[in-house]
Amino acid sequence: MRTIEQTTQEVLELAAKHFQVGAATLAPDDDFFKKLGIDSLQALELLSRLENHFGIELPDYEVQGVSDFRTLAERIQSRL
Amino acid sequence: MLDLAKYQSIGAALKDALETFTSEVCLIEADREREKERLTYREFSERTIPRAKTLQAAGFSAGDRGAIVMTNQFKWLMSAYAIFYCGGVLVPLDYKLTPEEHWHLLQHSGAKVLVTEYPIWRQLAASDARAGVENLQRVFVTEAPAKADLAGAQRWEEALAEGQPEFVPRMRKDVATIVYSSGTGGRPKGCMMTHENYLEQCVALTSVYPFAPGMRYLSILPTNHAIDFMVGFFGPFICGATVVHLRTLRPEFVREAFVKYKITYVSLVPLVLKNLQKGLQARFDALPAGKRKIFNALVAVNKTFTKGRPRLGLSRALLKEVHQAFGGELRAIIVGGAFSEPRTLQFFYDLGIPVANGYGLTEAGTAITVNDLKPFRADTVGKPLPGMEVRVVNADAGGIGDICVRSKTVMSGYLNEPELTAETIVDGWLQTGDLGRFDATGHLQLFGRKKNMIVTEEGKNIYPEDIEMVFESLPVKEFCVFAANYVWPQRSMVGEQLILALRLEPGQTFTDDLRREISVRNNRLRNYKRVHGVVIAKEDFPRTASMKIKRNVLAERLRELDRETAILPL
């Protein structure tokens, strides 16, 4: 079982890879819309990638209003 | 299609539709690849009647207000029908608002009943803003887990009162819905839409884009949105067509749904349309050189033959693979909620997929103008729909002026705001606040706005007053949020942004700490509501005798600054 720290780190790494930015430039409390310069559709793409990676389903309502990596990782952790 | 001229209300028309198209499929609901529900019109009616009875048993009666805060799903439509059946007034709220915003509007609307989903209710129930909202008497919650704490709500699934409820008739001029066009954080603008507004709008729209049994509409825009309410509920229902709901809007499942359910119509906001364009273009670019050459030649042939009007059969034959990716039966993509770029519209039309672009605002129902495709004009928002009078007043030398509308689809007014209503509807003409021009063939072209607001590509209307509260007590002398294009008018309706105008204290400078403080507060707003940059005012803000900021005068003063250098990015 992953710890929340590990999950958060994996979320950051996957986001960095998906949007081709340096992983070191992203921090857990960053607002991913702003930091990555993405729109809501691109955020949905990232969610699909995270679901595949963690082997879970994240209903849309679980991520409604979430905009930082830490909260996103917490929502994922609760379904692992 | 039912003859809507015979009906007095949405509820009466829906009731007849359910009794007319009994064996047609009315709704399909899917969650990812799993189909969860498939209901005929008869089944829809059978499952809704007990909910209407439950509402009546709870004392919900004619003129009472019932709010819905739900994602797109079949229970949204059932709840709406139950409210109309009881003669109630529907208050459809955007499920993407924050709990505080929801409570604010629930209070303002005077809603007596709320129907919502458990994940949303969990947040609403935990919000401090719940205190003091005394008008709300009953809450029905869908899909709550077995042992969930319902915090005073009732399970929607168990709202099954026995017996036949009384159908409560309403008249055309009665209010059918209260739709909020803005005011989540400031002065709520609840548009009171009458039954007549919807009946007339439906007749106008279906005359150009008809529905029929067997047609399938994919519901992606939120159903609280005027477009989805009309073309994803009322329109298809009174024609016996099918509405398809998806519980997740991930692009891969939306793509699958087109093929699986052979979709006839879909409504999208410009952001999603552009994303689709990007995906298709990438696939075309990846074709081997030879195939690409053939593909481009086929597109050219299609363009030639569809110049005057769409020829769906020909386009589907010429560009088979493209059309099959959309299920092979797509007649048109309806795009709305915000301004679409002509080149995106043209991209789809050249592939043989007409895009029904138009122009509308909540206050005037769903649509005022729409492209009738005879011929397709990507550079315009089409011609006025039947029954719409549109005029351009105070025009400049180039014919560009204020767009005003008069029709039976214009709202009766803003809830509890007679003065604002009188400013907005003058002698029966709705002052849209948008700038436009008619071309020689009667097509309307849009050229920006006069009003201080923006519309995002996701179709969200954002008014500066609604987000200012997040900057309260900012350590500056005074502040004010503006639409940048209101300060510096642009002949454009894309890429709109908000700015924060600041007046610093004497001797104060714009430090990194202040910038950080603004960013932190800005990030508390939903991403689409955030300000883009800061403008430092050189003098104190002009104010009225009651100390309200004179926004128009302040905007004029800021206009003297150079836009490019004045906006400091956050």
- What SS3 state is found at B538? coil
Question: Which of B114, B32, B92 is CA-nearest to residue A60?
Answer: B32
Question: Which of B74, B267, B51 is CA-nearest to residue B165?
Answer: B51
Specify the pLDDT at position A42: 86
Mutate to test the interface with A, among B250, B272, B531 (most CBs of A within 10 A): B250
Q: Give one word for B111, left, alpha or beta, with left for phi > 0 and alpha for psi -120 to 50.
A: beta
Question: Which of B131, B72, B136, B77 is CA-nearest to residue B109?
Answer: B136
ipTM of the complex: 0.79
Specify the pLDDT at position B270: 87
Specify the pLDDT at position B184: 58
Paired tokens of B81: 């029908």
Size of interface A-B (CB pairs under 8 A): 48
- The C-alpha atoms of residue B399 and residue B308 are separated, in whole angstroms, by 26
Q: What are phi and psi of B536, to 5 degrees?
A: -95, 120
Supply the DSSP string of A4-54, one letter for each residue. Answer: HHHHHHHHHHHHHHHTT--GGG--TTSBHHHHHT--HHHHHHHHHHHHHHH
Over residues B252-279, the pLDDT tens digits come to 888 899 999 999 999 998 888 888 898 8
User: How far away is chain A from the Cα of B526, in angstroms, using its nearest Cα?
Assistant: 7
- C-alpha dist (Å) from residue B488 to B156, B497, B555: 50, 11, 8
Q: Does B516 touch chain A (CB under 8 A)?
A: no
Percent of chain B residues topping a pLDDT of 90: 80
Contact in structure between B483 and B408 (CB atoms under 8 Å):
no
Specify the pLDDT at position B72: 92
Q: What is the dihedral angle through the alpha carbons of B370, B374, B379, B385, rounded to the nearest 10 degrees?
A: -20
CA B324 to chain centre: 28
Specify the pLDDT at position B236: 98
Supply the DSSP string of B56-84, one letter for each residue. Answer: HHTT--TT-EEEEE--SSHHHHHHHHHHH
- The C-alpha atoms of residue B84 and residue B199 are separated, in whole angstroms, by 14
Contact in structure between B198 and B367 (CB atoms under 8 Å):
no
Half-sphere exposure of B74 (CA within 13 A, CB side): 23
Contact residues, chain A to chain B, C-beta under 8 Å: 31, 33-34, 39-41, 44-45, 47-48, 57, 59-62, 64-65, 67
CA B405 to chain centre: 19
| Cβ-based contacts of A47 with chain B (< 8 Å) | 250
Paired tokens of B29: 């609901």
- Go through B500-535 and write b for each residue having 16 or more CB atoms within 10 A of its CB, e for each that does not: bbbbbeeeeeeeeebeeebeebbbebbbbbbbbebb
- Cβ of B527 within 8 Å of Cβ of A67? The answer is yes
Nearest CB to B275 within list A31, A41, A65? A41
- The C-alpha atoms of residue B516 and residue B443 are separated, in whole angstroms, by 47
- The C-alpha atoms of residue B22 and residue B63 are separated, in whole angstroms, by 29
CA B39 to chain centre: 26
Identify the sign of the CA torsion B90, B208, B368, B171. Answer: negative
Contacts of B343 (CB under 8 A, 6+ apart): B378
Contact in structure between B372 and B383 (CB atoms under 8 Å):
yes
Percent of chain B residues topping a pLDDT of 70: 99
- Cβ of A34 within 8 Å of Cβ of B527? The answer is yes
Supply the DSSP string of B313-334, one letter for each residue. Answer: HHHHHHTHHHHHHTTS---EEE
Contact in structure between A67 and A48 (CB atoms under 8 Å):
no
Q: Does B251 touch chain A (CB under 8 A)?
A: yes
Nearest CB to A44 within list B98, B117, B249? B249
| Cβ-based contacts of B527 with chain A (< 8 Å) | 31, 33-34, 40, 67
Residue B306 CB neighbour total at 10 angstroms: 22
| Cβ-based contacts of A41 with chain B (< 8 Å) | 251, 271-272, 275
Specify the pLDDT at position B568: 93
- Residues comprising chain A, all counted: 80
- Cβ of B119 within 8 Å of Cβ of A39? The answer is no
Least confident of B69-83, B288-302, B511-525: B511-525
Beta bridge pairs of residue B28: B38, B244
Q: What is the DSSP letter of B342?
A: H
Which 3-state string (H, E, C) describes B162-178? CCCCCCCCCCCCCEEEE
Residue B279 CB neighbour total at 10 angstroms: 13
Instruction: Return the axis-axis angle of helices B342-350 and B270-285, rounded to nearest 10°.
Output: 50
User: How far away is chain A from the Cα of B119, in angstroms, using its nearest Cα?
Assistant: 7
pLDDT > 90? residue A44 = no
Over residues B304-348, the pLDDT tens digits come to 999 999 999 999 999 999 999 999 999 999 998 788 889 999 999
pLDDT > 80? residue B205 = yes
Contact in structure between B222 and B72 (CB atoms under 8 Å):
yes
Paired tokens of B381: 């928002």
Contact in structure between B123 and B108 (CB atoms under 8 Å):
no
Element (H, E) at B36: strand B34-40
- Cβ of B117 within 8 Å of Cβ of A61? The answer is yes
End-to-end CA distance of chain A: 8
Q: Which residue of B has its CA nearest to A31?
A: B523
| Cβ-based contacts of B117 with chain A (< 8 Å) | 61
- Cβ of B96 within 8 Å of Cβ of A65? The answer is yes
Specify the pLDDT at position B406: 98
- C-alpha dist (Å) from residue B495 to A12, B253, B433: 29, 28, 18
Q: What angle do CA B193, B196, B200 make, to 5 degrees?
A: 110
Half-sphere exposure of B421 (CA within 13 A, CB side): 14
Over residues B91-125, the pLDDT tens digits come to 999 998 889 989 999 999 999 999 999 999 999 99
Specify the pLDDT at position B522: 92
pLDDT > 80? residue B550 = yes
- The C-alpha atoms of residue A32 and residue A43 are separated, in whole angstroms, by 8
pLDDT > 90? residue B183 = no
Over residues B418-475, the pLDDT tens digits come to 999 999 999 999 999 999 999 999 999 998 888 888 888 877 888 888 888 889 889 9
Nearest CB to A61 within list B32, B71, B271? B71
Q: What is the DSSP letter of B365?
A: -
pLDDT > 80? residue B9 = yes
pLDDT > 80? residue B545 = no
Comparing A58 with B64, the larger pLDDT belongs to B64
